[in-house]
Amino acid sequence: MKSLNERRTIRHYTTQPVPVELLNDLLAQSFRASTTGNMQLYSIVVSTDKERIAALSPAHYHQTAIRTAPAVLTFCADFHRFSLWCRQSNAEPGYENFQSFMNAAMDTLIVAQTFCMLAEEAGLGICYLGTTTYNPQEIIETLQLPRLVFPVTTITIGYPDEHPEQADRLPAKSLIHNERYYDYTPEEIRAAYTYKESLPESQKFIAENNKETLAQVFTNVRYARLDNERISENLIQTLRQQGFFDLGKC
Amino acid sequence: MKSLNERRTIRHYTTQPVPVELLNDLLAQSFRASTTGNMQLYSIVVSTDKERIAALSPAHYHQTAIRTAPAVLTFCADFHRFSLWCRQSNAEPGYENFQSFMNAAMDTLIVAQTFCMLAEEAGLGICYLGTTTYNPQEIIETLQLPRLVFPVTTITIGYPDEHPEQADRLPAKSLIHNERYYDYTPEEIRAAYTYKESLPESQKFIAENNKETLAQVFTNVRYARLDNERISENLIQTLRQQGFFDLGKC
């Protein structure tokens, strides 16, 4: 899979539209991916209308990728459709719980990544929007998602209008453990992150944010504790609102 | 990607081992997949030792795939390594919360599926074990996973020793919504599931389980409410144990 080794996340797209037939064809192929008990616990909302994309944009903080993308796909965990089928089949569904959300979220992410790989093979560029779980309520309202449907991730897609530097990755051996998890020594941590820290863009990041270390940019600016905690509470509240967290105790 | 259209989940493997170098090479390639903030919030534990695989087997109810697989890969959400790096870099990590788990779980599933597609292109067969989130404690103990590491999914892998019928899929159009979520009419639900219900294996499933409808096999036998609720409570408890659910209120 040549495109994988050469891949870059693409955030700037040309104005060339992505034909809806192509999107539907790539999605249909992606539905061959593995799925929990062959239940296919996902729905994909495809947005190509400029106004509809603009309506999704605030939930994603108007980031570059959604401002120029000709198409935006919101991948949703969906136990609603399956539950409707159960009720029509004289069966009482029992999926208003966290494990069912996890099953559906896993199905959803597996399909999303399958779709992304197919799209990149077809010459398209994609970007995952992690903001999907930051502001799920806004997305739920905009896309009119019913109970037991939850937006898990969003893909912006289009023809690339940039060729950025390829992002660095940690040494593979730092991420693979043989037979059991071997905890890291301080030297192993240093070895894993030295290259990343040495990169000019990392140095730029540190300077721009007025920090001492690259890690401080992550802990104080990009993924800070208070933000994570606020997002966590909101996420759990929204899971509850969508019916996926109906536990007596927790 | 020809192998995707032709893919089948493989649960019976030949005795031919999968070279560890091949697994490591496929994993290294898969690490090019998208990742949250380029943090690569995952670790993979590769088991090829027969005794180590046997030790994992009870957590997966000794299902066929793990009994014959020459290799088993446990894909774990991992904020431990990143947090160690932060502490070594004079930065205070704030990842003991649910959103951080979600970010790490998403990274993990995206890498897992990328690995699976590469493995299938290389002629290997794979099976996802959904049981990973049913008995996470046992897996955590067996693999000695530290706090902030959580087993999200497991892949059994080997050279195929079967060529099963390809599983059915719902009509693609039943899973795709244009611009917003359009709720299903009873007729649309019927149309989506009629083919699945008509299959001989579905009829066999209903007869074997002494049920009236295929949906009842799901709601009363395979994914029953009480099981889902029990698994949900255990999953949340284990997330808390691993440090990913440190919320004052929930």
Size of interface A-B (CB pairs under 8 A): 338
B86 closest CA partner among A176, A223, A230: A223
Nearest-10 crossing angle of helices B186-198, A80-88: 80
pLDDT at residue A249, rounded to an integer: 47
pLDDT at residue B246, rounded to an integer: 66
Does residue B209 sit within a domain? no
pLDDT at residue B3, rounded to an integer: 79
Q: A14 phi and psi, to 5 degrees?
A: -70, 170
pLDDT digits (tens, 9 = 90+) for A205-221: 999 999 999 999 999 99
A195 touches chain B (CB under 8 A): no
- The pLDDT confidence band at residue B248, using thresholds 50, 70 and 90, is very low
Please name the residue of chain A whose CA is at the shortest distance from the CA of residue B233. Answer: A250
Strands A125-129 and B176-178: unpaired
Q: A180 phi and psi, to 5 degrees?
A: -155, 170
pLDDT at residue A245, rounded to an integer: 83
Contacts of B1 in chain A (CB under 8 A): 1, 29, 117-118, 121
Q: Given the structure tokens 């990607």, which residue do they identify?
A: B1
Does residue B157 sit within a domain? yes
Does residue B228 sit within a domain? no
pLDDT at residue B245, rounded to an integer: 83
> Average of pLDDT values for B125-138?
98
Residues lower than pLDDT 70 in chain A:
1, 246-250
Does residue B136 sit within a domain? yes
Strands (E), A88-210: 125-129, 149-158, 176-178
Domain with B150, as residue range(s), is 2-164
Give the total number of structural domains in chain B.
1
Q: B132 phi and psi, to 5 degrees?
A: -55, -40
Taking the C-alpha atoms of residue B250 and residue B238, their distance in angstroms, rounded to an integer, is 15
pLDDT at residue A220, rounded to an integer: 97
Side chain identity at A162, as an amino acid letter? E
- Identify the residue among B48, B222, B229, B230 best suited for mutation to test binding to A, counting A beta carbons within 10 A and taking the highest: B229
User: Residue B98: which CATH number?
Assistant: 3.40.109.10
Query: CA of A138: how far to CAs of A102, A132, A161, A246, B101, in Å?
Result: 21, 9, 29, 21, 22
Enclosing H/E stretch for B128: strand B125-129
Taking the C-alpha atoms of residue B115 and residue B109, their distance in angstroms, rounded to an integer, is 10
Tokens of A116: 């992304």
pLDDT digits (tens, 9 = 90+) for B159-192: 999 999 999 999 999 999 999 999 999 999 999 9
Please give the mean pLDDT across all residues of chain B: 96
Does residue B84 sit within a domain? yes
User: Across the interface, which of B76, B94, B176 has its CB nearest the CB of A46?
Assistant: B176
CB contact under 8 A, A180 and B76: no
Q: Given the structure tokens 């209903």, which residue do they identify?
A: B206
Enclosing H/E stretch for B45: strand B42-47
- Identify the residue among A53, A81, A96, A147 best suited for mutation to test binding to B, counting B beta carbons within 10 A and taking the highest: A81
Does residue B140 sit within a domain? yes
CB contact under 8 A, B235 and A118: no
Does residue B117 sit within a domain? yes
Does residue A224 sit within a domain? no
Strands B125-129 and B149-158: antiparallel
Taking the C-alpha atoms of residue B234 and residue B250, their distance in angstroms, rounded to an integer, is 16
CA geometry: angle at B54 spanning A181 and B136, to 5°? 55
Complex confidence, ipTM? 0.97
User: Across the interface, which of A34, A40, A215 has its CB nearest the CB of B85?
Assistant: A215
Specify whether the CB–CB gap between B158 and B68 falls below 8 A: yes
DSSP track, A83-117: HHHHHHTT------SHHHHHHHHHHHHHHHHHHHH
pLDDT at residue B250, rounded to an integer: 43
pLDDT at residue A34, rounded to an integer: 98
> Average of pLDDT values for B120-144?
97
